[in-house]
Chain A
Amino acid sequence: MSEARTFDGRRGAVLVVEDEPLIRMEAVDFLEGEGFTVVEARSADDGLAVLRARADIRVLFTDIQVPGTLDGIALAWIAAREFGNIRLLVVSGRAAPGPGELPHGAVFLAKPYNASTVVGHVQDAIRPG
């Protein structure tokens, strides 16, 4: 289940993977509020389908604990392997993953996270339109 909301899709999009509707909604809102194109998915499996279907995803913003066969970490690894130039933002309410558990360059953010920090990382990867 994914749905794209494009304000300006020419410069790349952000994929938000989060199963909790309220939190996902808020993430989408504040990223869209900053002018980014945001695609949302409620599971890593759905997220992977989006990644493979769309070439414009520049940032993967994913929760670790999501339903389905993959979790957020697995999705991050697949994204790093298959789409090298993608910025990885991984969040969780649980303890931070140990060294080496995340792909090189991935950023971990603890829940509840600071929206401006997320925006900062996304801005690094995408220049908003």
Chain B
Amino acid sequence: MRSHLLEALFASATDYAILALDLAGHVTLWNEGARRIMGWTEAEMLGQPVHAIFTEEDRRDRVPEAELRAAAETEIGTDERWHVRRDGSRFWANGEMMPLRDGAGTHVGFMKILRDRTAQRLEAERQRADAGFLRSVLASSADCIKVLDLDARLVFMSEGGQRVMEVSDFNAIRGCPWPDFWSGQGNAEARAAVDAARAGGIGRFQGVADTMAGTRRDWDVQVTPILDADGRPERLLSVSRDVTAVRSAERALREAQGLNAAVLQSSRDCIVILDLEGNTRFVSPGGIEAMEVADVDAIIGLSWPRVWKGEDNAAAWSALAQAKEGGVGRFRGFCPTHRGTPKWWDVAISPLAGPDGRPDGLVSIARDVTEQHLVETELRETEERRRLAIEAADIGTWSFDVETLTPHWDERCKTLAGLPADAVVTYDVYMANIHPDDRERVRAVTLAALDPAGSGAYRAEYRVVGPIDHVERWIAAAGRARFEGGRAVSLAGTARDVTVRKKAEEQSLLLADELQHRVKNTLAMVQAIVRQTLRAAATPAEAQAAIDPRLQALGRAHTMLTVGGWEGSDLRTAATVALESHDDGSGRFRLSGPPAWLSAQAAMSLALVLNELATNAAKYGALSTAEGGVDLSWSVEPAPGTAGSAKLELVWREHGGPPVAEPLRRGFGSKLIERGLASAIGGTATLTFPRGGVVCRVQGTLTALNASKLAV
């Protein structure tokens, strides 16, 4: 019966897992509760070690054995730990283990009773976590969080609150009436807030209260009820926030606003308050004056950017947009006043922050910079003009420090001197750059300019030689010395390249000299012709008749050579020109020969010689008859042994004239042939008088220079 009862008890205790074990820990009994809680059936577990219900780590730590041993020794062992179900999941078990004894008191096994307490266990953990979180929140909050009872006595104050209230020991103030911490107006407001919270509402106020350490602070306070389960206020929660910093900032702002107003009133700038669309809301007194506004009301509401015209209009809109974005827009613009006075303004537009920190308006501060602008413009233009002038004129600027003997050159000066742009110019570099022949002169001119007794003016034209390109350039430098305390301290001025002018001057000097030489030489030739003619002539009339054609021949040769730049002439051209006045166009002269270049002197001599031959032929020879003629032929052959030179042989042969007899007296013509022309071409000349006609044979050398001319 008793056993039966026990069986029934086992079976019905389904909230409890009850299992019996033998001394070795094998299951001998497994009730329905055990099956429900852990999943195994009695059939599955009977005879199995109880280890199966222990977690892996407990089995490893030999907890089952320890538990059995503990139960055997102490009669009862509590068991609160995680166990394992048949499906492997874990549950928090709260149970006991006790030894089983038979009637004789002999230890025959164990009984283990378990309850599944998993839900309770998790709830407890959650609550612990929540409480910890709340504590940490209260501790870390900078607000002073207090709990009051309904009589407004302090029950609790958060850690953060104790810090900010400078409370060293909360127990010293626990139970004190909270409104008493406030004095005057604050005390009344605190009581009112407590009353409001007690009535289920929210009490709120701002006031001044000292901390426990006596520091005066501004507080923003809120008092709310803590309701019980029935929704009635049970306690009160008071949260005070330290707003001292905020209030002082507000005070500063108020003071600043006062200052702003003063600035606005007294500033001479044109300060305009605009809405975000740029319409004028307010113009400062200084602005009204500066803009010469007669009727302020007329400009309120007007679009401010439209005041600016042309390029300034775009600049104004862009500055406005920048300010709307929170930045500062700046520009300089031109805007005449209402009375038409032209004015330049430096404008800055900034945003005016609204209560939410976003711009809800703009302020434009325009400063009259007309005078400054005009000066700057003038300076800029002057500078620009100077720069242009310097660039156009290739003018470099330089200075010379007398104290340190250091020249300072701009890049153009270096270019003028043939120095690279990065060259370091020292006094030695400067001197070495000057042509050796000009150095002393430049030094003397410089010293004269530095003489305090003098005018200080410096002016020199000299040659420089580029150290790299070795190019010689003419520099014209001009400057002025600066004197301090009766001593020259510096010399500064400009330098420009006058090479072209100098070369032109040299060229024209050369030309003038050459012309002088040529004219004088020609006069000497005229002199020679005249003297020769006079010496040979029997009468003045004969002399006169002879002189004219000779000077004419000289003149024609001159013209021919001048056209060719006095570089000489082709033989055929020289002959044609010389014989021109004797040629009646009937083909009396036959010229034949290859191209042959004669020097100017040889061409001149040939022209004079041919003139003499033709004159004689016209008087006594082939040209004195209608049928007669002259063959002028020449040949050019390479001269053996002299590279580039050539042998010239020229033959004048008359035919068809009257029988010829050798003249008794050699005249100017034959002397010129034998001594002049022959010498001019470095050869020999012979004049023979066969009966059939005069023959003049000239042999000479065309120099390499003259021969090469033909190849050109």
Contact = CB atoms under 8 A, between A and B. Distances in A.
A108 to B, nearest CB: 13
Contacts of B677: 21
Contact of B676 (A21, A65, A92): A21
Mostly, the B contact residues are helix
A95 B528 contact: no
A23 B528 contact: yes
B576 interface: no
Contacts of B682: 1
A93 B517 contact: yes
B216 interface: no
B445 interface: no
Given A93-B521, A112-B523, A22 B531 contact: no
Contacts of A94: 513, 516-517, 520
Contacts of B520: 92-94, 110-112
Given A22-B672, A95-B516, A1 B679 contact: yes
Given A1-B679, A22-B672, A111 B523 contact: yes
A25 B667 CA distance: 13
A23 B524 CA distance: 6
A23 B521 contact: yes
A95 to B, nearest CB: 7
B425 interface: no
A124 interface: no
B699 to A, nearest CB: 14
Given A25-B672, A25-B676, A26-B531, A19 B601 contact: yes
Nearest to B680: A21
A22 B513 contact: no
B513 A95 contact: yes
A25 B532 contact: yes
Interface in B519-534: 519-521, 523-529, 531-532
B615 to A, nearest CB: 16
A22 B535 contact: no
Contacts of B676: 21-22, 25
B517 A21 contact: no
Interface in B672-689: 672, 675-677, 679-680, 682
Interface in B605-654: 605, 608
Interface string B373-408: 000000000000000000000000000000000000
A29 B529 CA distance: 12
Interface string B261-291: 0000000000000000000000000000000
Interface string A11-35: 0000000011111111001100100
B338 interface: no
A94 B514 CA distance: 8
B524 A93 contact: yes
A94 B517 CA distance: 5
A115 interface: yes
A29 B608 contact: no
A20 B524 contact: yes
A29 B532 contact: yes
Interface string B572-611: 0000000000000000000000000000010001001000
A21 B529 contact: no
Interface string B525-559: 11111011001000000000000000000000000
B36 interface: no
Contacts of A95: 513, 516
Contacts of B601: 19-21
Contacts of A92: 517, 520
Interface residues of B, number: 28
B491 to A, nearest CB: 33
A60 B264 CA distance: 105
Interface residues of A, number: 23
Contacts of B605: 21-22
A30 B516 contact: no
B41 to A, nearest CB: 142
B81 interface: no
A42 interface: yes
Contacts of A112: 520, 523-524, 526-527
Nearest to B682: A1
Interface in A1-55: 1, 19-26, 29-30, 33, 42
Contacts of A111: 520-521, 523-524
A95 B510 CA distance: 12
A65 B517 contact: yes
B518 A93 contact: yes
B671 interface: yes
B520 to A, nearest CB: 3
Contact of B519 (A42, A65, A93): A93
Contact of B531 (A1, A30, A110): A30
Q: Which of A23, A33, A93, A94 has the most CB of B within 10 A?
A: A93
Contacts of B608: 22
A33 B536 CA distance: 13
B353 to A, nearest CB: 91
Contacts of A19: 601
Interface string A64-103: 0100000000000000000000000000111100000000
A92 B527 CA distance: 15
A94 B524 CA distance: 12
A25 B524 contact: no
A54 to B, nearest CB: 19
A19 B600 CA distance: 12
Nearest to B515: A93
Contacts of A20: 521, 524-525, 601
Contacts of A22: 525, 528-529, 532, 605, 608, 672, 676
Given A93-B516, A93-B517, A26 B680 contact: no
A53 B529 CA distance: 32
A19 B676 CA distance: 10
A26 B513 contact: no
Contacts of A33: 535
A42 B517 contact: no
A42 B521 CA distance: 15
Contacts of A23: 521, 524-525, 527-528
Contacts of B679: 1, 21, 24, 42
B534 to A, nearest CB: 11
Nearest to A64: B517
A26 to B, nearest CB: 3
A23 B676 CA distance: 9
Contacts of A29: 531-532, 535
Nearest to A21: B676
Given A22-B608, A26-B528, A26-B532, 11 more contacts: A20-B601, A21-B679, A22-B528, A23-B527, A25-B676, A30-B531, A33-B535, A93-B521, A93-B523, A110-B520, A112-B520
11 contacts: A20-B521, A22-B608, A22-B676, A29-B532, A92-B517, A93-B519, A93-B520, A94-B513, A94-B516, A95-B516, A112-B527
Ordered nearest first, which 3 A-B pairs have the shortest CB separation? A93-B520, A21-B676, A26-B528
